């Protein structure tokens, strides 16, 4: 029960992040819910490797110092 609330909490925050594309947001949320790269790739018609690249790029954006500073300026 608690895990579901945590996933919903982070999913809601991921969806609100500016400067991430819609696909990046959806991939992060699906990965948070432990959906496999293969299933996500089939949904979008791309390979597992491409989903991994999208996920990596989105996480790099969120982790970047510039991005974090912009979030807290609001």
22-74 residue pLDDT tens: 999 999 999 999 999 999 999 999 999 999 999 999 999 888 877 777 767 75
pLDDT, tens digit, 9 for 90 and up, residues 9-20:
889 888 888 889
Question: What pLDDT does residue 64 have?
Answer: 85
The single-letter DSSP state of residue 73 is T
Q: What share of the chain is helix, strand, coil (3-state, %, to 5)?
A: 80, 0, 20
Residue partners of 67: CB distance under 8 A and separation at least 6: 19, 61
pTM of the model as a whole: 0.84
The first and second tokens of residue 11, run together, are 């999913």
């Amino acid at each position: 029960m608690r895990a579901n609330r945590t996933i919903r909490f982070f999913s809601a925050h991921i969806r609100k992040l500016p400067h991430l594309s819609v696909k990046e947001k959806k991939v992060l949320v699906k990965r948070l819910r432990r959906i496999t790269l293969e299933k996500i790739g089939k949904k979008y018609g791309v390979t597992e490797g491409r989903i991994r690249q999208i996920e990596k790029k989105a996480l790099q954006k969120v982790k970047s110092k510039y991005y974090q500073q912009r979030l807290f300026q609001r």
